Structure 1
């Protein structure tokens, strides 16, 4: 058992190994020569690492905004400067359950893809790993089930989530540009559903957010890296100004002048976006052709579920608008909870706000144009803040990492599962 836990925690929990294995298996199934298998595997792994590390570091670059927003509204932001330390502390009580549920859930996903009509393979292990932790925490702190029962129930729940979320996103992704050959395996799936419905009901596809006309002199803003860099510079500067230059310099900027601080943070953000986009191109060029071998020979008609940054290059404006809209409604939700004296301090988690805000704006735009993007990402911000408020009391010592990484599915399915477990009285 100790070896199994070690293997899961140190090998299977590393997404590059699972992704690399998929590429190798797919290319072997296609009878590709050894001289092509190794380069393609390495390129896919490097591309994924660029996306993953870029996303994590980009998210970390947003964390100073929490301090500024908290100071502006006289609140205390969660201590989240060291994500690694928070993760280790959060896994102390659920780590074993989480690791085994993660591994067994992936196996169930593969079996469902092979033997049912739901031909979707969830290839975002970093997403399913933390969702396994959420399920483990809900079962451990919300029930009296013993260890083997928790593992069986948790594995089934994770396998179903991995398969079904890819399946319904596959239905929603059809009008999304640049999404041919894959579906999404991302914990914003419930938000994508809401955004797509709102877009269909109240939007207008004829008014695409990405088709907004700009003066000739501002055409450079169509470059995603440039636009995001400038937006982040302005956001850091304006919030730093509102929070107070002296506070920003002393408590957030490490003594830097507020203008210098805003420029450096914006450039840092833009740099990591560039890394992500380069990783997207590299990974897609290898993973999609390799997966054809799996789809033809091992899991007939299978479709890979991949991460949300793959869609960013096609929707640069939606990425910016989605983040800002979700952040705005998240702050409104935070203030509403404070006004009603909610017993737990809830603060917008900025990493999920960026990625799920971007995702919901993309799907809202694809289904309902500008109005759909605004409605979808706006609804997402409210879901994130109110869902987190309901989730945190249910997950015990897993709560600190959920304050940082609680994306839309955690905030929707977490409280629903927790409420169901209470109703069932599984003591």
Structure 2
């Protein structure tokens, strides 16, 4: 068991290894030679690492905003250190989480092979943390023994991995840059909501990405430039509201807030460039390689990949989605404070950026500008209210949920928790 857990925690939980193995298996199935397999595998793994490291660093760059916004609204600031939060969160459920993750992935592969839902969930970092949510809900809300938690949890995770990819694949129709794969991401429920709202109330003809702007401002259509400027201005405005003296003392280490804001903006632009470069490198290799799996091993299957793969096609939606989700999240936070809700919550900025961007992309694809705004606003409210409902149910897993609780955590988590409570803790 110790060897198996070592492999799960140190190999399978590293999404880059799973991505690499997929390329190797796919190319071997196509009878490619080793001198073709090796460079393709390495390029895919390097591209994925660029996306993953870029995304993590990009998210981490947002965390100082959380402290400043807490100061502005005079709220308790919760720890934004992901490493510390992981150590606290995994302490009581680490073994159950690892086993649920491993067996859940196996169930996903079996469902893809033997049912009509041909989707292989390849975002291991997503399913790993979702395994933790399931483990926490079962451990802290039921009387199930260890083996029961693992067995029930693995089935739940396998079903989630398969069916979330399936309904997102339906929503992907009409989304630019989404050909050949579906999304395996814990914003799937938000993407579904955004798609439905966009179809009901949007106007597909008014594409956010084709919005007319003065010729001299055409440079804003480039995501790197636009995000750099937007994040610089956002950091500066928030620093001013938090007061420059407090910000310099508590956030910047004495650095002037204008210099601090410019550096943060440039850093943000640099990491989004890394992500986009990684996207192009990875897609050029993994989609052709996956054809071997789709043709030989799991017929007609599709890979489920991560959200940033769509960013290059929707630069404006990424920015609008983040800002709208942030505004909605802050509004929701104030509403909860006004009604004296017993759990203090704060918008988790990493999910706010990535799920806000994703819901705006799907909203725009299906309902233009109005769809993008409605979808990302709804996402922000779901994140904040869902987090408020979720936190009392997850015990020691709460610290990581305050930082990484994306839309599926805040939708499916409370629903599962309420069902378990109705069942009397099983």
Aligned to 2:175: 176
Aligned to 1:349: 348
Aligned to 2:140: 141
Q: Secondary structure at the match of 1:121?
A: strand
**Quick check: 1:103 aligned with 2:102?**
yes
Q: Distance in 2 between matches of 1:213 and 1:247?
A: 40
Aligned to 1:79: 79
Q: Distance in 1 between matches of 2:141 and 2:36?
A: 50
**Quick check: 1:23 aligned with 2:23?**
yes
Aligned to 1:115: 114
Aligned to 1:58: 58
After TM superposition, the structure 1 stretch with the greater mean CA deviation from structure 2, 2-11 or 126-135, is 2-11
Instruction: Give structure 2 stretches of 5+ with no counterpart.
Output: none
Q: Secondary structure at the match of 1:179?
A: coil
Aligned to 1:94: 93
**Quick check: 1:262 aligned with 2:282?**
no
Aligned to 2:297: 298
For residues 76-113 of structure 1, what are the alpha-carbon distances to aligned partners after superposition, in whole Å with 9 as ceiling and x for unaligned? 12111x21121121100000000000000000000000
Q: Distance in 1 between matches of 2:5 and 2:40?
A: 30
For residues 34-57 of structure 1, what are the alpha-carbon distances to aligned partners after superposition, in whole Å with 9 as ceiling and x for unaligned? 101000000101111110111001
Aligned to 1:325: 324
Q: Distance in 1 between matches of 2:425 and 2:334?
A: 35
Aligned to 2:43: 43
- Structure 1 residue 135: Cα displacement: 0.1
- Structure 1 residue 426: Cα displacement: 3.3
Q: Distance in 1 between matches of 2:334 and 2:253?
A: 28
Q: Secondary structure at the match of 1:305?
A: strand
Q: Distance in 2 between matches of 1:289 and 1:78?
A: 44
5 Å matches for 1:265-414? 265-414=264-413
- Structure 1 residue 4: Cα displacement: 1.1
Q: Distance in 2 between matches of 1:330 and 1:350?
A: 9
**Quick check: 1:204 aligned with 2:203?**
yes
Aligned to 1:216: 215
Q: Distance in 2 between matches of 1:150 and 1:213?
A: 54
After TM superposition, the structure 1 stretch with the greater mean CA deviation from structure 2, 21-30 or 69-78, is 69-78
Change (3 A) 1:75 1:426: closer
For residues 290-317 of structure 1, what are the alpha-carbon distances to aligned partners after superposition, in whole Å with 9 as ceiling and x for unaligned? 0000000000000000000000000000
For residues 209-265 of structure 1, what are the alpha-carbon distances to aligned partners after superposition, in whole Å with 9 as ceiling and x for unaligned? 000111011000010000000000000001111111111111111111010010001
Aligned to 2:189: 190
**Quick check: 1:2 aligned with 2:2?**
yes
- Structure 1 residue 3: Cα displacement: 1.2
Q: Distance in 1 between matches of 2:306 and 2:106?
A: 19
Q: Secondary structure at the match of 1:218?
A: helix
- TM (normalized to structure 2)? 0.99
Aligned to 1:416: 415
